[in-house]
Amino acid sequence: MTGKGLMPEGAVRIREMNAEDLPGALEVEKACFSEPWSEKVYRATLLLDYTSYYVAEITEEGLSPVFEKAGFSGSRIVGTIGLKNIAGEGEVTNVAVLPSWRGLGIAGRLMERLLSEAYGSGIDTFTLEVRAGNVPAIRLYESFGFQAEGRRRDFYDRPREDALIYWKRP
C-alpha cells in the first residue's frame, strides 16, 4: 500500500522517534486528540523495550517552496504513529497527522513504515481502536487490510463516542 503520493518522495521522512522529537510529537498530539498524552507519558512510553514510535518529518530540503511560503525553516514533525508489541501482537497507537497536513498520504507512509518494521521483527497480527465516527482513519486502516471485529461502547470522552476495534491478521 502506498500513500496518495501527493507529497514529493523526499519531502517526508519517516523515522524512529527520539526524545528530541517530543516537542513536535506533543504538538501533533494536542492538535489531534481531545485527551492528548502528556510529555511525561510520552517520554516513559518511548523508553519501554516493547514499543516503537515513528514520526513523519517534513524537511526544508524536500519541500522548500512550501516551507518558504509558510515561513518555516529546517524541519517539522507533522505526524506520529506507535506500536506496542504485546505478546507478539502489535497494538497500533497514536496515529496522528497535523490537520493542515492531512490528505497528502502522510498517515499512509507512517503506517507502511510501522507495518514493515513490525513484520521484520516477527509481528504479523495487529489491532487498534478508532473513534466510530473517524471515517478518514477507518478508510486508511481498511486500505491496509484491517477489519472491524468489535465495539467498545462510550470508550472515548470529549466527545463521548464508541471505539471500533480493528484487527489485521495473517
Dig out the grid coordinates for 131 from the structure. 473513534
Assess if residue 85 is contained within a domain.
yes
Evaluate whether 17 touches 46 at the Cβ level (below 8 Å): yes
| All three cell numbers of 130 | 478508532
What residues does 48 pair with on adjacent strands? none
Residue 129 lies inside a defined structural domain of this protein: yes
pLDDT per residue, tens digit, the chain (170 aa), is: 334 456 666 788 999 999 999 999 999 999 999 889 999 999 999 999 999 999 999 876 655 555 555 555 567 999 999 999 999 999 999 999 999 999 999 999 999 999 999 999 999 999 999 999 999 999 999 999 999 999 999 999 889 999 999 999 99
Calpha distance 77→169 (Å, rounded): 30
Q: How many CB atoms lie within 10 A of CB 4?
A: 12
Residue 90 lies in a domain: yes
The total number of structural domains that make up the chain: 1
Report if residue 3 sits inside a domain: no
- Tell me, yes or no, whether 1 lies in a domain: no
Closest CA to 104 of 22, 6, 1, 23: 6
**Does any domain span residue 62?**
yes
Distance from C-alpha of 91 to C-alpha of 73, rounded to nearest angstrom: 34
Model pTM? 0.88
Which CATH number do you get for residue 50?
Answer: 3.40.630.30
Q: Strand 89-97 vs strand 75-86: parallel, antiparallel, or unpaired?
A: antiparallel
Range of the domain at 147: 9-168
